[in-house]
């Protein structure tokens, strides 16, 4: 079952802490795990990716290990050695003549060693190219273990709520999360997520423990106080981003921005009524 008609901005992957033989129950263990995972991803995984692509006969690309980030003042600074997730960028030459700044010619791969393990399931994935042109790109089909949409639904709610606790929330390519929430809210996945108090609280505690962002009040994720409505001062920025998202990422039917915000408000109110 496809839950939306939208291209993805990145590929999110997870490496189990058991792969490194490191537990993640204590703060020191988690710090060691993040450092070990970051070193492995940049020093081993990116080289393996390069070797695999070359073995497939792919050329003209470049692989970038992301080691710097812009701070709130726009200054570039080194990423901490224990930062999670770790990012690899696969740059490629586009066949499209006119470059689109909203869609950089790269594949962004985010890899985390702190993600929750469950709930997940085995799913078959296949190429959109094959879906449109039978027999083309059939070799891309594979089975992977992936997160259930019930968990994704809740994580996106918390992600947006946390974003709006910042002094300067992001907006670029962020409206995609609201699109996803609207598409999921009336599906069985959305209904299951909002009826599963254990999963809801488990995700909140996981974010509180493993991410522990200083500017976030995780207590506000309680259903009665959750708020993921776009602040009024941010509305125009998000509206502009959503227009670009509709033009470049969403290839199916989509709501107008005011309709989308009304649906998100409906979802926010729905959650506030929940008593676990």
Segment holding 132, helix H or strand E: helix 128-132
Residue 134 has pLDDT above 90, yes or no: no
User: What does the block give as tokens for 6?
Assistant: 């939208």
pLDDT band at 116 (very low <50, low <70, confident <90, very high): confident
- Read off the pLDDT of each residue in 56-70 and give the average, rounded to a whole number: 93
Q: Domain extents for the chain?
A: 1-115, 148-276
Alpha carbon dihedral 28, 152, 246, 92, in 10-degree steps, equals 50
pLDDT in tens, 211-250: 888 899 999 999 999 999 999 999 999 999 999 999 988 8
Total residue count of the chain as it appears in this document = 276
Which two three-digit tokens encode residue 243?
A: 């227009």
Distance of CA 77 to the CA centre of its chain: 23
Region of 99 on the Ramachandran plot (φ > 0 left; ψ -120 to 50 alpha; else beta): beta
Tokens of 121: 């399931």
Buried/exposed code over 190-213 (b: 16+ C-beta within 10 A; e: otherwise): beebbebeebbebbbeebeebeee
C-alpha to C-alpha distance for 170 and 176, rounded to whole angstroms = 12
pLDDT score of 161 more than 80: yes
**Residue 141 phi, psi dihedral angles, 5° rounding:** -65, 135
Distance CA 112, CA 85 (A): 4
Asked which of 6-10, 25-29, 67-71, 182-186 is least confident by mean pLDDT, the reply is 6-10
User: Tell me, what's the pLDDT at 188?
Assistant: 96
Which pairing describes strands 76-78 and 86-91: parallel, antiparallel, or unpaired? unpaired
pLDDT digits (tens, 9 = 90+) for 248-272: 888 888 999 999 999 999 999 999 9
Average pLDDT of the segment spanning 66-74: 82
At residue 124, does pLDDT exceed 90? no
13: DSSP letter:
E
């Amino acid at each position: 079952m496809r839950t939306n008609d939208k291209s993805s901005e990145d590929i999110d992957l997870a490496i189990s802490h058991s792969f490194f033989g490191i537990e993640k129950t204590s703060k020191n263990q988690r710090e060691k795990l993040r450092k070990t995972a970051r070193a492995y991803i940049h020093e081993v995984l990116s080289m393996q990716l390069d070797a695999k692509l070359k073995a497939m006969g792919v050329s003209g690309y470049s692989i970038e290990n992301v080691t710097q980030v812009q701070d709130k003042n726009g200054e570039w600074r080194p990423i901490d050695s224990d930062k999670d997730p770790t990012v690899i960028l696969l740059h490629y030459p586009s066949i499209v003549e006119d470059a689109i700044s909203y869609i950089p010619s790269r594949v962004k791969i985010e890899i985390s060693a702190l993600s929750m393990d469950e709930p997940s399931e085995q799913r078959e994935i296949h190429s959109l190219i094959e879906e449109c042109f039978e027999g083309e790109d059939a070799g891309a089909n594979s089975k992977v273990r992936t997160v259930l949409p019930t968990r994704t639904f809740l994580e996106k709610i918390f992600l947006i709520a946390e974003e709006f606790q910042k002094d300067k929330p992001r907006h670029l390519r962020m409206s995609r999360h609201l699109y996803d929430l609207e598409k999921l809210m009336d599906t069985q996945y959305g209904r299951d997520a909002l009826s599963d108090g254990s999963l809801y609280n488990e995700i909140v505690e996981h974010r509180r423990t493993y991410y522990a962002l200083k500017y976030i009040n995780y207590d506000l994720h309680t259903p009665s106080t959750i708020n993921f409505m776009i602040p009024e001062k941010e509305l125009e920025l998000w509206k502009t981003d959503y227009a670009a998202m509709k033009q470049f990422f969403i290839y199916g039917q989509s709501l107008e921005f005011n309709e989308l915000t009304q649906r998100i408000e409906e979802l926010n109110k729905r959650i506030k009524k929940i008593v676990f």
